[in-house]
Amino acid sequence: MLKSSYLRIIGPLVCLVLVSNLLLQRCNSNNPDQVSVSNTKNEFVGDASCKSCHAKENELWQQSHHFMAMQPPNDSTVKGNFNNVSFTADGVTSRFFKKEGKYIINTQGEDGKNHDYEVKYTFGFTPLQQYLIEFPGGRMQVPRVSWDAKQNKWYHQYAGQKIPSHDWLHWTGNAQNWNTMCASCHSTNLQKNYSIEKDSYATTYSSINVSCESCHGPGKKHIEYANSDEYKKGVKVTGSYIHLSVKSSQTAQLTTCAPCHARKAEISASLIQSDEILDNYIPEIPTTEFFHADGQVDDEDYIYTSFLQSKMFRRGVMCSNCHNPHSAKPVLFSNETCLQCHTKTYDSPTHDFHPEGIAALDCKSCHMPGKVYMGNDLRHDHSFRVPRPDLTVKYGTPNACASCHANKSAQWASDALVKWYGPNRKYHFAEDLIPGSKLDVESEAHLLKLFPDTTVPNIVKATAAHYLGSIPTQNSLAALTNCLTHPDAQVRYRALKSLSSFEYVNWVNAVGPLLTDKVRGVRIAAAELFESIPATQIPAQFNQPFRAAANEEQNYLLYQADFAIGNLLIADHYFKIQDYPNAEKFYVRGLKKDSLMNYARLNLSTVYNTQGKNDKALEELLIASRIDPSNERIFYNLGLLYNELKNNDAAEKSFAKAVTLKSTNPKLYYNYGLLLNEMNKTANAEKILLNGIAISPNASELYYALTFVYIKSNALGKAQQTALKLKQLDPTNPNYQDLFKNLGIQ
């Protein structure tokens, strides 16, 4: 009865592939008098072709961060000091100098030794500038030593982090790779062109920086139209063959800006012409993995996910209402930008209760608190929320008051707001999202409350759907099933991801129609779910849609193969469909790119075990235990594997270690208890199983195991008591019926 078969452990994976490609051309003529250029192939023509008609816009653009996103190195583009200066940080000394007209950085390489590296391109220009170094295989890497353009000095972006030369985070590693992490947001019409077999790139772009066609799409048709006789005769074409015209909608603007101003994964190199972001990208939602529990930014989260939480988004505010789309600067100075919509009374001490002439009078100080990333880059939270120090008191979330009043308590700030505005605060979704994120016994009720509330942003409802995947109850199942028909694709997508926590019989008919959803990301998530269904159990009407969606899913996964975590996603996919050789291949590839990914080792050891390669399975788990000796899952897996190898002593020690590390996994206590019972250590077995029941009082398998411990020790009265509890918890389970019968339980 000991579950000694080696269990597959797959931790939550978040793909952080921060890549994008904006270059869409949506607008076509709806005029019956179709002009002659409409049938020609559209192509990228470069910003020089735009300048003659759009001189003002071109001038503004040349002052922008977009223009300086990436440039060849020369005396006008390089801001750093390359006059033979040195800088030491975290045990590494780098030297910056010029040689034969080239800019050189001498720093630690991937072998741990210093080498000279030629700067191929500059990357950005303020508040910091980075430099690109070319490596074999078409890859370019970004050194972590950067130039602080504000203080005119070299600095280390991640001060205090000593990163070994072989580490994934080292500047020569996967985390600092331009092709994967940076390129498509710094150049126009970027094509990554990654070869899986060669593990190399042939990356190309049409313009080196973020040019006109990054936002407006390829311009050949537009220019031909502007020069055509039809245009001179006044024949109008909606959009003039460009994407994102002056009259574009809020959705069109967001879909254009978001790919570079969101934390997201890219679905494919083949972009779909669409205003739905999930056709081409999977943006992050405000979970506690990267955001604070109330949705405020924490990690390097960019803009999109925050903005979708805001009242500004709900009221139809667009990026261009606040930012000049060509210079990217605010349209007006300071609070004047906000006063385009808000009355003057908001820009006075009668609103903020602070004396004039201090920073708190800036709207952004209270409603857009900032955080520094990359060492010196202050970015503002675009959720535009009212400070809530009362939530800080209750839950520990940040509040803007602390930005200026760091020496004061959250209670002090909360009391001040009560004094100024009264005791009552307007409801904010954070009041349910925060306790919902805790995933405790009270979380479900809070999360369910978010769905019917029409004031709650859809991005928050998508987050609630995500959390419900960790609360596999009937109420959660019903809510997630309802989400499958939600009009917002992100809600549907996250509901599909969470339904993996439920048996397929509960959702197969509801999920099947989403295999042909109008949004590609949703179809991919539905296909991923359907992979868990035995092939013989897939309803006939869903077979063909599943094959089509599964093909899109595989293309999506393979597109991530140049990124360490992307290889894990691919390997998980192959493992799920029992293609073990390919699963092994991609787990090994992922670990080659990031040797510290222990969740990959857990899964790889399971693949080896499934193929009968238990020596390799054990080796991977032992390596994992040395890397992360506080991870209880590793020792639980070791216990299972040692038990399968008939090494009971080692299995017992591994299980005991997992218990010491405070595991809450009921399967650990089940397997450990039965192992001790098998080793005739019945008293210890009883103790372990009772510990497990105290942690997971509704885990029926623990009562099942404890009943057998009592039977073996002839404690039949106790056996009947635990069996009665088992009957209450799981009365119809066919595996328990003989036990009930033998103990005389009806």
* Low-confidence residues of the chain: pLDDT under 70: 1-36, 38, 359-360
201-233 confidence digits (pLDDT tens): 999 999 999 999 999 999 999 999 999 999 999
Q: Where are the domains of the chain?
A: 70-186
pTM of the model: 0.88
DSSP code string of 326-362: TT-SBSSSGGGTGGGTS-GGGSSHHHH---TTSGGGS
Whether 271 contacts 249, CB under 8 Å: no
Whether 633 contacts 643, CB under 8 Å: no
DSSP code string of 417-438: HHHHH-S-----THHHHHHHHT
Q: What is the pLDDT, as a whole number, of residue 14?
A: 31
DSSP code string of 249-306: -HHHHHHHHGGGSB-EEE--SS----S-GGGTEEE----TTTB-TTS-B-SS-BSHHH
CA distance 705 to 685: 9
Inter-CA distances, 565 with 45, 173, 593, Å: 36, 13, 9
